[in-house]
Every structure is written in structure tokens, then in C-alpha cells.
Amino acid sequence: MSYRALLLRSSDIVTSALGLPFDVARAQYARTVEAGLLQRSMLASRDVHRTISALERLALGPWARHR
């Protein structure tokens, strides 16, 4: 494995690890909807996803995943 490939792979691993709390928040929202505690809504789901993505970009800056 070349140095460049190793660097890109390690960067992917770090980015994934830093993004884990945001993935947990998305999963928690989905479970809350599945449990019936929040109403199913495509618009609300979109808004939650956008909000979490914005928080991820704000908190992680250049290490945020691009979604």
C-alpha cells in the first residue's frame, strides 16, 4: 500500500470516527419515530437530517463528511 493510499484510508477512518455521534443522533431520531413518539413526516425527517448535517459541519469543519 502506498503512502498516499494509507493517508487517504486513515483520513477516512478518522472522519468516520468523528462523525459517529452524528450518526447516533440520526439513528436515535429514526428509533423515536419507529416507536411512535414522533409522527412520521418526510418534511420533519428532512429538517432533522439538515440540522444534524449542519451541526456536523459546524463542529467538525474540514473533517465533516460531505452528504
Distance between CA 33 and CA 25 in Å, rounded?
A: 13
Closest among 13, 45, 54 to 26, alpha carbons compared: 45
- The whole-model pTM stands at 0.80
Contacts of 48 (CB under 8 A, 6+ apart): 26, 29
Residue 26 confidence (pLDDT) above 80: yes
Task: With a cut of 70, say whether residue 67 has pLDDT above it.
Answer: no
What is the pLDDT at residue 47?
A: 98
Task: To the nearest 10°, report the CA torsion of 14, 20, 22, 25.
Answer: 180
Domains contained in the chain, number: 1
> 47: domain range?
3-63
